[in-house]
């Protein structure tokens, strides 16, 4: 890299000397050196500022993580939680953040808790690191937006109105269900007249 820079300076000096003698060669070399100096100072300044910003961001994330670990508490189950097939314990489960520390934690547990809290703080500080789902969820929490019941669509009522759902199957439909050897609880779902 240094050889290329010296070669460029030599070529500029020679062209300046050809164009106007020693005076122009000196001015050309001085201008080139000033440009090189400004470029080098700019590179060092950019590196220095980038390091300072990164250190400040890391310190801010670490302080946020320490505060989260210190204030971490488990949340009792919500009163409107309903057990589902994916989460059968939703109505009784206590929710704890991944960075909670219980009594007498080991140094490994403390480090793991701080690391988990730092990940969460990094997502909070820099929204680009959040997933799209997290950003939408946070917006809904902050602005309390939910689909209201009056705007909800009752698809079953629309299907019955259009005639897509019949209340009872005919004899042929019930016979077809019975001939396939379906259990009785599935035959009842077909709303057969004979059963």
pLDDT digits (tens, 9 = 90+) for 40-69: 999 999 999 999 999 999 999 999 999 999
Residue with tokens 């480090």: 111
pLDDT of residue 65: 92
The Cα–Cα gap between 67 and 75 comes to 17
Is residue 83 predicted with pLDDT exceeding 70?
Answer: no
Interval 109-166: pLDDT, tens:
999 999 999 988 888 887 666 677 777 877 887 777 654 444 556 666 666 666 655 5
- Taking the chain, what is the end-to-end CA distance rounded to the nearest angstrom? 90
Residues in the chain: 195
The reported pTM is: 0.48
Residues 16 and 33 sit within 8 Å (Cβ to Cβ)? no
The Cα–Cα gap between 60 and 54 comes to 10
pLDDT of residue 181: 52
Across all residues in the chain, what is the average pLDDT?
75
Interval 161-193: pLDDT, tens:
666 555 555 566 556 555 555 555 544 554 555
- Nearest alpha-carbon partner for 110 in 102, 177, 45, 10: 102
Residue 154 CB burial class (10 angstroms; 0-12, 13-18, ≥19): exposed
């Amino acid at each position: 890299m240094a050889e290329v820079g010296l070669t460029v300076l030599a070529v500029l000096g020679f062209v300046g000397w050809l164009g106007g003698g020693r005076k122009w060669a000196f001015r050309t070399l001085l201008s080139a050196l000033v440009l090189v100096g400004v470029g080098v100072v700019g590179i060092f300044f950019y590196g220095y500022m980038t390091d300072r910003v990164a250190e400040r961001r890391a310190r801010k994330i670490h302080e946020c993580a320490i505060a989260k670990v210190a204030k971490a508490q488990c949340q009792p189950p919500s009163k409107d939680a309903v057990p589902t097939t994916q989460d059968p314990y939703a109505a009784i489960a206590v929710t704890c953040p991944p960075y909670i520390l219980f009594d007498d934690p080991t140094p490994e547990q403390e480090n793991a808790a701080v690391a988990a809290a730092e990940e969460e703080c990094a997502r909070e500080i820099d929204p680009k690191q959040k997933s799209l789902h997290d950003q939408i969820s946070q917006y809904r929490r902050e602005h309390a937006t939910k689909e209201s019941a009056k705007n909800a669509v009752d698809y079953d009522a629309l299907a019955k109105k259009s005639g897509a759902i019949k209340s009872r199957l005919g004899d042929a439909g019930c016979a077809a269900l019975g001939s396939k050897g379906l259990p009785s609880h599935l035959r009842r779902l077909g709303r057969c007249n004979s059963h």
